[in-house]
A = this chain, B = another copy of it.
Amino acid sequence: MSPCPQFAADCPSRVLFDQIADKWSMMVLAVLDDGPQRFNAIKRRLEGVTQKALTQCLRKLERNGLIARRVIPTSPVGVEYAITPLGRSLQVPFRALYAWTAENLPKVERARNAFDGGTGAGTLAL
């Protein structure tokens, strides 16, 4: 199986992957999967995210049709973000990835210890 025999720069998979695989996108979608959320509510659940980074991430997700932005014209403006059906469909492969991390974290940690601890002897064991 090789969908792209070579990974050209304009390979659709590459282009799209660059869009969805950043540090925060997956988590934002996971948060919004619980239901629509306000900006600061999302921010509170993503430990370590800055306002700037979150804003950029939300814009990108919105641009790609994965989330929807709705302005609530209250006294101090409110903005609500909601996951779209397209965004929800991306949750499926994302959850598969999450499951992999949960299942294989111990193995990765063991490999890392072997690599770091050894003088490079890790290559022998594999």
Residues of chain A touching chain B, judged by Cβ–Cβ distance below 8 Å, are 1-3, 6-9, 12-21, 23, 26-27, 30-31, 33-34, 44-48, 62-66, 68-71, 84, 86, 89-90, 92-102, 104-105, 107-108, 110-112, 114-116, 122-123, 126
> B101 near A17 (CB under 8 angstroms)?
yes
B-chain residues with CB within 8 Å of residue A100 when the two chains form the complex: 89-90, 92-93
> B2 near A27 (CB under 8 angstroms)?
no
Of A7, A26, A31, A92, chain B has the most CB atoms within 10 Å of the CB of A7
CB distance from A56 to the nearest CB of B (A): 14
CB distance from A32 to the nearest CB of B (A): 12
Looking at chain A's contact residues, is the secondary structure mostly helix, strand, loop, or mixed? helix
With contacts A47-B7, A63-B115 known, is A19 near B69, CB below 8 A? no
